[in-house]
A and B are shown apart, each in its own frame.
Chain A
Amino acid sequence: MTDHATASTFLKAEQIRAQAEHLYLLPFPSSCPRKFASLLSQACEKLKSVVIGLSKRPGTADVDRQISFISLFLVDRLAPTLRFIEGASSENTPASLVGPLEKIGKMLLPGAEFLVRRQWRYNYRVQELRQGLGEELKGLLSRHDFKDLFPDEPQKLYSISFPSFERDSALLHVNFAHEIGHPMEERYLAADPRNQEPLAELRTEIEKEDTGADVVKRAKDIGAATSYWRAAVEELISDTISTWVFGPSALFALSEVVTLSHSADEISKDLHPPWRFRLRNMLSVLEEQGFVDPASHELQGWRDNAHSSLSGVKSSVDNWLKHMSRVVEQNTDWDAIRREGIAAKCAYESVSRVTGSVRTFAAQTVADTAYTRDLFSEEVPWLLERLFCDLPPNQIERSLWDVRQVKLASILSSGWLYKLAKLHPEFDADAERYVERAFVLNRLILKALELSVVAGEFMERDGESARGAAKQE
Chain B
Amino acid sequence: MGLLSKSEIEEWLNKDLNERLVITPILDPREQISEGAVDLRLSTTFILTQKTEFARMDPTQGKEQLKAEIQKYQFRVSKRFHEEFVLHPHQLVLGATLEYLSFPDGLGGYVLSRSSWGRLGLVIATAAFVNPGFKGCLTLELLNHGEVPLVLCPGMRIAQLALHRVTGKPGAHPTRYRCPTEPQFSLIYNDKDLEHWGRRELAT
Hey, which bits of chain A sit against chain B, CB under 8 A?
A: 27, 29, 90-91, 95, 309, 385-386, 389-392, 394-395, 397, 399-401, 403, 436, 440, 443-444, 446-447, 450-451, 454-455, 457-459, 462-463, 466-467, 469-470, 473
Contacts and interface: CB of A to CB of B under 8 A. Distances in A.
A451 B178 contact: no
A283 B24 CA distance: 35
A446 B181 CA distance: 9
Contacts of A403: 25
Contacts, number: 90
B25 A455 contact: yes
Interface in B1-44: 10, 13-14, 17-18, 22, 24-31, 44
Contacts of A91: 76, 78
Given A395-B25, A455-B27, 18 more contacts: A27-B80, A91-B76, A91-B78, A95-B44, A386-B17, A389-B18, A389-B102, A390-B102, A392-B24, A394-B25, A397-B24, A399-B13, A400-B29, A443-B180, A446-B181, A451-B25, A451-B100, A459-B27
Contact of A29 (B10, B17, B18, B80): B80
Interface string B137-166: 100000000000000000100000000000
Nearest to B41: A454
Contact of B81 (A394, A454, A466): A454
A399 B12 CA distance: 10
A454 B98 contact: yes
A455 B23 CA distance: 13
A464 B116 CA distance: 25
B29 A392 contact: no
Contacts of B25: 394-395, 403, 451, 454-455
Given A27-B77, A443-B179, A400 B100 contact: no
Interface string B73-92: 00011111100000000000
Contacts of A466: 28-31
A400 B13 contact: yes
Most buried by A among B10, B26, B80, B137: B80
Given A390-B102, A446-B181, A470 B30 contact: yes
27 contacts: A27-B78, A29-B78, A29-B80, A90-B78, A91-B78, A309-B18, A390-B179, A391-B135, A394-B24, A397-B22, A400-B13, A403-B25, A443-B179, A446-B181, A450-B44, A451-B100, A455-B25, A458-B27, A458-B28, A459-B27, A462-B28, A463-B28, A466-B28, A466-B30, A467-B28, A469-B30, A473-B30
Contacts of A386: 17
A69 B31 CA distance: 63
What are the 3 tightest A-B residue pairs by CB atom distance, in nearest-first order?
Answer: A470-B30, A90-B78, A447-B181
Nearest to B77: A27
A385 B22 CA distance: 13
Contact of B27 (A399, A401, A463): A463
Main secondary structure of the interface of A (DSSP, over half): helix
A473 B28 CA distance: 14
Nearest to B25: A455
B155 A447 contact: no
Contacts of A467: 28-30
A231 B98 CA distance: 44
Interface in B177-198: 178-181
A94 to B, nearest CB: 12
Interface residues of B, number: 31
Contacts of B181: 392, 443-444, 446-447
B107 to A, nearest CB: 15
A451 B24 contact: yes
B17 A385 contact: yes
B27 A391 contact: no
A399 B98 CA distance: 20
Nearest to B175: A436
B29 A470 contact: yes
Nearest to A95: B78
A454 B100 CA distance: 13
A340 to B, nearest CB: 48
Interface string B120-144: 0000000000000001010000000
Contacts of A400: 10, 13-14, 26, 29
B100 A391 contact: yes
Most buried by B among A389, A391, A403: A391
B84 to A, nearest CB: 12
A463 to B, nearest CB: 5
A384 to B, nearest CB: 11
B97 to A, nearest CB: 11
Contacts of B76: 91
Contacts of B102: 389-391
B178 A27 contact: no
A392 B97 CA distance: 14
Contacts of A457: 81
Contacts of A470: 29-30
Contacts of B29: 400-401, 466-467, 470
Contacts of B78: 27, 29, 90-91, 95
A418 B187 CA distance: 30
Nearest to A382: B17
Contacts of A390: 102, 135, 179
Contact of B22 (A95, A391, A443, A454): A391
A293 B78 CA distance: 44
Nearest to B81: A454
Contacts of A463: 27-28
A392 B100 contact: yes
Contacts of A29: 78, 80
B17 A454 contact: no
Contact of A436 (B28, B77, B137, B178): B178
Nearest to A450: B44
Contacts of B81: 454, 457
B155 A454 contact: yes
